[in-house]
Amino acid sequence: MLPKKRRIERKYFGQIMSQGKRYNSPSFTLYLAKMDVGNGLPDSKFSFSVSKKVLKRAVDRNKLRRRGYSVISRNLKKIKPGFFVFFLYKKGFEKDYSLLEKEINGLLSSTLVII
């Protein structure tokens, strides 16, 4: 699981979605925003959101979020600092972990968040 300090707080979601850039893939919509800080770049922060429209049961939504955080935590050393990265799952997402990992990494590398 991703450490709490590396997760985006809920109060920033609206700001990220309105001011950030949007990237699409078959399973996700990714919102990317740069952090506004004075000195130095803090670690990037991430969040995953799964709507009730995508999965009805909370158990399934939480499992999908945990899988997303697991993929991110495996790649933390390769991720550039100073970004808010917000993943929004779409209907028809890939349930297989290896395909999910491949899609997340591909999306992050296309947005140049991964070094």
- Summarised one tens digit per residue, pLDDT across range 69-115 is 999 999 888 888 888 899 999 887 767 888 888 888 888 888 887 77
Tokens representing residue 25 in the block = 């893939």
Burial readout 66-93 (b: 16 or more C-beta within 10 A, e: otherwise): ebbbebbeebeeebeeebbbbbbbeeeb
- DSSP letter at 1? -
Q: pLDDT at position 94, please? A: 67
- Per-domain boundaries in the chain: 4-110
Is 1:66 a contact under the CB 8 Å cutoff?
yes
Q: Tell me which CATH code domain 4-110 carries.
A: 3.30.230.10
**Ranges of H-type helices in the chain:** 13-19, 58-74, 97-110
pTM of the model: 0.85
pLDDT of res. 40? 65
Q: Is the pLDDT of residue 58 over 90?
A: yes
At 35 the pLDDT is: 80
What mean pLDDT do residues 25-50 have?
83
DSSP letter, residue 103: H
